[in-house]
Amino acid sequence: MGCRREEVRKAKARLELGLATAVKENKKSFYKYTNGKRKTKGNVCPLIDAAGNVTTDDKEKAEVLSAFFTSAFNSQSSYLRGTLCPDLDIWADTQHVSPEIEVEAVRELLLHLDSHKSMGADGLHPRVLRELAGVIAEPLSAICQRSWLTGEVPEDWRLAGVTPIYKKGRKEDPGKHRPVSLTSAPGKVMEQILLGEITRLASMGS
């Protein structure tokens, strides 16, 4: 299955390259293909808000979904703000240790980004980051190091493009939609670094 998927991706890449190369001689095929890619599904149907009112305006529907997704996330979190999950208590005493984030480790993570994934709200496409890994690795490692030391995350890394996907049941019910988000690729690299360090420190404390 994996090999077939890769073959399909390569065939698609060859098709797109051919269309882009021959755009001057065959504009019709090029724009037909790109316009087809730009087509999106219909808007979300009217939704019922917490007060029982029907919302039809796109902005209002977005606010209804945002409120519901936020409440669902918060209700699933059983830890108070500022406290550690019990699984992380074992490395709490080692938090003063600031690991050095290696440039090579960041470069390796960049090289393994899926270039077929969409870009996040920051506008940085994984394919660009992957192809420029040799140039980006050093400044990105410095940003990650600074983020670790200060406990702050770049604002763009906290943004996400969220799309509601209808599941089943009453379409007017916000609870019948699930959020699918596109987040920052550099932010995902930072997450992998944190995961590695947390795992390492946890193994030291066990």
What pLDDT shows up at residue 1?
57
- Report the C-alpha gap between 175 and 72 in whole angstroms: 9
Question: For the chain, how many structural domains are there in total?
Answer: 2
| Pair (130, 34) in one structural domain | no
| Pair (33, 90) in one structural domain | no
Give the other-Cβ count within 10 Å of 108's Cβ: 14
| Pair (182, 112) in one structural domain | yes
Q: Partners of 177 in the beta sheet? A: 166
Reference 192, options 150, 157, 156; nearest CA is: 157
| Pair (2, 95) in one structural domain | no
| Pair (177, 110) in one structural domain | yes
What pLDDT shows up at residue 84?
47
Would you say residue 118 lies in a domain? yes
* Backbone dihedral angles phi then psi of residue 168, each to the nearest 5 degrees: -165, 165
What pLDDT shows up at residue 88?
47
pLDDT in tens, 82-116: 454 544 444 444 445 567 889 999 999 999 998 88
For residues 20 and 95, the model is more confident at 20
| Pair (14, 104) in one structural domain | no
Would you say residue 171 lies in a domain? yes
What pLDDT shows up at residue 107?
95
- Report the C-alpha gap between 106 and 136 in whole angstroms: 9
Q: Which residues contact 159 (CB under 8 A, 6 or more apart)?
A: 120, 121, 122, 183, 184
Locate all alpha helices (DSSP H) within 22-90, ordered by sequence. Answer: 27-38, 58-76
Q: Which domain holds residue 94?
A: 84-205
What pLDDT shows up at residue 76?
53
* Mean pLDDT value across residues 56-81: 75
* Mean pLDDT value across residues 181-187: 89
Measured in residues, the chain has a length of 206
CA 113 to chain centre: 12
| Pair (18, 117) in one structural domain | no
